[in-house]
Structure 1
Amino acid sequence: MSKKIVFIILCLVVVTTYGQNSSVSPYSYHGIGDIRAQSTVENQSMGGLSMYTDSIHTNLKNPAAYGKLRLVNYTIAGGHSEIRMTDFTASQQTSVTSLEYIAIGIPLTPKLGIGIGVLPYTSMGYNTFSDNISARQDTIANQYGGEGGLNKVFLSAGYEITKNFHLGATVNYSFGSLEYRSVQNIAGVQYGVVNTKFSQIKGFDFNYAATYTPKIKGRFTLFSSITVNTQANLVSQNEETLGSFSTITGEVIEGRDVNLDAQNLKNTELKIPTTTTLGLGFGRDKRWFLGAEYSLQGLSSFRNEFVDQNNIIYEDATTIAIGGYIVPDYASFTSYAKRVNYRFGGRYENTGMIINGKEINDYGITFGLGFPLGSGFDNINLGLTYGIRGTATANLVEESYFKVNIGLSFNDKWFQKRKIN
C-alpha cells in the first residue's frame, strides 16, 4: 500500500509541474515537433532498444512484454538535458527539464497483462532570427518562433500464445496543440507584420508486437522481436491570424483572421507513417544481455499542408541501435555494486529530414545504472545520453546534448487470494 501512495504522490507532483516546454531545437519546427523517446529509462539506457522484456519492468514500446509481467509495476521518470547549439558563427548553451512518462503494468493472469499510462509524444520550442536585404537595399529582419507539443495516453495488452511466444497490442490517443509565429519588419519602419498559425491536433494509432524468447541450452535466451507502429491519422483544426505591430512597443495594432475555409485548410490531416522495428538479441537472465534493432519509417510520404516548409524534403527514416546490460551477481549479499544493473548502448538515426539540401542525422551513446531498493524487485534507474544532431553548415545548427534521466520502478502484488493454514 505504501508504494501505491508514493506513486500517487509522485504523479500529482509531476502533473502539477508538467507543461514546461521540453524542446529548444530549431529542428522542432518541422513535422509535428521533436519525437520524444517514448521508452523507459531502462530501455533508453540500452541504446533505445525496445526488444528486451522481463517479468518486473514495464516496456512502453513493446506491448507483447505485458504478457510476461508477474508483478504489478508502477513506473515514472523525468529528464534533464543540457544542449549546445552551434552554427557557423556562434554557439549557445541552454537546458530543458521534462516529464518522461507515467505508467502502470498489471498482470491479470499468468499469461495476460495490461498497461496504461501517459507520456509526451512530441515537443516544439524554437526561436530563430534571420536578416536579408531587399531589392531596394532595405534590411528586413525576420523572427520565427513556435511552441507546443502532443501528449499520448495509451492502453496496452500482452498475451502468451504458447511458451516463450507473446503477442501484444497498444491503442494510442494523441492530443495537443502547436503554435507557429513569424514576425517581419524593415529597419527604420515603425510597423511590422506578424503571422500566427495555431493547430489543435488529435487522433489514434496502434502498435502491434510479437516476441519469441526461447531458451538455448537451458541457461541462455534468444530474444527476437518485431513491432509495427501503424500510421497515425491525426486531425488538425487550424486557425491563422495576420496583422501589424508596433516596432516600438511590440503591441499588435491590428489582427485579422485568415479565411482558411476558402483554402481548404480549416481542417487538415497529418498522417504519421508506419514504423517497423526488428530486433535480435542474446543473453542470460539476470546476468547479461546484448541486442540490436533496425527501424524503418516511410517518412517520405509525410506532408503538412497548413504549415509552409519549403526548405525541407522528407525521405524514409532509419534507426540502428545496439545495447545491453551486465549484472555481476544479482544475488550477492556482500557487495551492493555487484547487484547493480550496468546498461550501455548506442544508436544512429537518419531522421528522414533533408533541410537546405543537408541530411539531418542524430547519433548518440548511452549508459545507465539500475540500483536495487531493499530485498525486493524495486529499483531506481539512472540513464545518461550524449548525442549530436544536425550540422553547422548550410545555415543550419549542430546540436550536442547531454541528457540525464531518473526513473522509479516499484513492484507490488494484486489479485492474489489470501491463504489460511
Structure 2
Amino acid sequence: MQVKNTLIRLLVAVAVVVPAAVRAQTSSINAFSPYTMYGIGELNTPGTLPMRSMGGVGVAMRSTGVVNLLNPAAYSSIPQKTFLFNFGLEGQNYYNAQTVADVSKHTAYNTFNFHDIAFQMPIAKKLGLGFSLTPYSSVGYRTKYYHEYDPSDPVWGNVGRVQYNYQGEGDLTEVKLGLGWEVFKNFSIGVAAQYYWGSIDRTFTMTPTAITGEGTFTSSTGVDNYTISCVKGQVGVQWSPILNRKRILTVGAAFDIGGDLNPEVSNRIYIGDLYSTSVKDGLSDLALVLPRQLTAGFYYQTAKWAFGVDYVYQNWGDSNTGFEMTGVSGADHSSYKVAYTNTSTVKAGLEYTPSRYDVRSFLKRWSYRAGFRYGYHNQTFNDNRLAQYAITAGVGVPVKLWAISAIDVGVEYGRRGYNVAERVGLVRQQYFKIAVGFSLFAGAQENGEYWFSRPKYD
C-alpha cells in the first residue's frame, strides 16, 4: 500500500508540473539576446542536467540513472521492472555589452524556467521507451535605434529624428517519443519522433519627431507572429566494444533528419491613431528549415571516473540560403547582412565519484562534474562568424545510501561574439546559468522499492 501511494503521488505531481511548466515556457522570455532577432532564436543546450554539467556530452552515454535526451539508442539501457523520471529547472543571467561611437553600453536581464521533463521505462527485455519535453529555442530582445536629423536627406530632412523600437519573444518546444532496442549484445539502435511547436512574436515601432515641434506625424507599428507546428525524426546507435566489471567504453552517433518548419506568419502594420488603423494585414509562409544534425562521440566509465567527448555538425547554411539586412546603410556601416551558416561544436566532460557506496562519508558518494563546449553561432553578420564557448560544472547528490535517485546542481558560464564584436561593432555577450535537476529511479535495485513486483501478500 505504501508503494502504491508513492506511485500515485508521483503521477499527481507529474500531472501538475507538466501543464504548469508548459504555460511558463510559452508565456515568458527565456532568452535575452539581440542575436535572437532572426529565425527561431537561440538554441537551448540539450540534455538533462548531469549531461549539461559535463559540457553537454552524452550521445554515447548509457546510464540507469540518467535519461539520455541525445540518443534514443540509450533507452535500451533501462533495466526491467524500473522507471526513471527527470525534471529540471534553470535560471539565467544575460549581460550584453556594445561600443557605439566610442561609448560603451550594456544591458542585463534574468530569466527562469523549466528545462526538461523526461522519463525512461522498459517495454520488454532489451527494449526501452523514452519521452521528453524540452525547450528547443527561445527568442527575447528589446532594442532601440535612432535615425538622426539629416538636412541633406530628402525625407529625413523634412521629418526630423526618428526612433525605432524592436522587441520580440517566443519559444519553440520539442516533444520526443522514442524506442531503443539492444539488437545483439552490446549493440543498440534507436528511433524517435520529434514534434515541434511554438509561437514567436516580433514588433517594431517607428516614431518620428517633428523638427520644429509643430508636426503631426504619427507612429507606425508592425507586428509579425510566427506559428510553428511540425513533426521530424531521429535515429541513433550505440556500441560498447569494452564492457566488463571494471570499465565500459561506448561509442555512439545520432542523426536528426531535419526538414521544413514552414512557419505560418501573420503580418500587420498599423498607425498609432485613435483607432489603430490597419495599413496592411496578411498571411504568408516563412522559408525556414530545421537543419540536419549529426552527433558522434564516445563515453568511458570506471567505478570512479567517467569521461566523454562529442562532436556536433549542423547544416544551417545549406538548409537556409536566404538572408536579411538589418540597420541602415551609410558611412557608419550600421547595416549587416544576416545569414545562416553551418556549425561545428566540440564538447568534452568529466565526472568523478570518490566512492559511490561508501557508508561512512556522504561527500564521497557525490558525483563531481566539469565540462567545456566550443563552437560557432549559427548566424553570420556580414560573413563574420561568431565564436562561442561555455564552461560547466556541477554535482550530483544521492538522496540516500546506495540510491540511484539524485538531486543535481549545475552552473554554466559562456561567451559569444568576443572574437569579432570589437572589430565590427557587434554585441559582446556573456551569460551565467544555474540549474537544479531531480532524477527519480524506481525499482527493485533501490532500497527495496519493488514498485513493479507482485506482492506475495495483500
Instruction: Report the TM-score when normalising by structure 1.
Output: 0.91
Question: Residue in 2 aligned with 1:367?
Answer: 393
Question: Residue in 1 aligned with 2:30?
Answer: 22
- Is 2:75 the counterpart of 1:69? no
Alpha-carbon distance, 1:281 to partner: 3.1
Gaps of 5+ in 1: 261-265
Equivalent-residue separation in structure 2 for 1:161 and 1:148 (angstroms): 41
Question: Residue in 2 aligned with 1:181?
Answer: 203
- Is 2:416 the counterpart of 1:407? no
Question: Residue in 1 aligned with 2:446?
Answer: none
Tell me which amino acid in the other structure corresponds to 2:454: R
What secondary structure sits across from 2:124 in the alignment?
coil
Q: Which has the larger radius of gyration?
A: 2
Coordinate RMSD, CA, aligned? 2.3
Question: Residue in 1 aligned with 2:306?
Answer: 289
Equivalent-residue separation in structure 2 for 1:13 and 1:252 (angstroms): 41
Tell me the alpha carbon deviations over residues 336-361 of structure 1, each in whole angstroms, 9 at most, x when there is no partner: 11100111100002123112443222
Alpha-carbon distance, 1:302 to partner: 3.8
Q: Structure 1 residues 194 and 168 mapped into 2: Cα distance closer, same or farther (>3 Å)?
A: same
Equivalent-residue separation in structure 2 for 1:72 and 1:415 (angstroms): 9
What secondary structure sits across from 1:15 in the alignment?
helix
Task: Give the length in aligned residue pairs.
Answer: 411
Question: Residue in 2 aligned with 1:130?
Answer: 145
1:97 to 80, 105, 112: 112
Q: Structure 1 residues 364 and 311 mapped into 2: Cα distance closer, same or farther (>3 Å)?
A: same
- C-alpha contact (below 8 Å) 1:45/1:345 kept by paired residues: yes
Question: Residue in 1 aligned with 2:330?
Answer: none
Gaps of 5+ in 2: 327-335, 444-449
- Is 2:96 the counterpart of 1:85? yes
Q: Structure 1 residues 415 and 169 mapped into 2: Cα distance closer, same or farther (>3 Å)?
A: farther
- Is 2:249 the counterpart of 1:213? no
Matches within 5 A, 1:229-268: 229-245=256-272, 253-260=276-283, 266-268=284-286
Alpha-carbon distance, 1:301 to partner: 2.4
Equivalent-residue separation in structure 1 for 2:218 and 2:320 (angstroms): 34
The worse-fitting range, judged by mean Cα deviation, of 275-284 and 8-17 is 8-17
Alpha-carbon distance, 1:185 to partner: 2.1
Alpha-carbon distance, 1:319 to partner: 0.4
Equivalent-residue separation in structure 2 for 1:14 and 1:236 (angstroms): 25
Q: Structure 1 residues 106 and 307 mapped into 2: Cα distance closer, same or farther (>3 Å)?
A: farther
Tell me the alpha carbon deviations over residues 190-228 of structure 1, each in whole angstroms, 9 at most, x when there is no partner: 412111111111111111111112326752211211111
- C-alpha contact (below 8 Å) 1:270/1:304 kept by paired residues: no
- Is 2:357 the counterpart of 1:331? yes
What secondary structure sits across from 1:300 in the alignment?
helix
2:378 to 348, 352, 355: 352
Matches within 5 A, 1:23-42: 23-42=31-50
Q: Structure 1 residues 179 and 317 mapped into 2: Cα distance closer, same or farther (>3 Å)?
A: same
Tell me which amino acid in the other structure corresponds to 2:115: E
2:254 to 219, 227, 236: 227
Q: Structure 1 residues 214 and 407 mapped into 2: Cα distance closer, same or farther (>3 Å)?
A: same
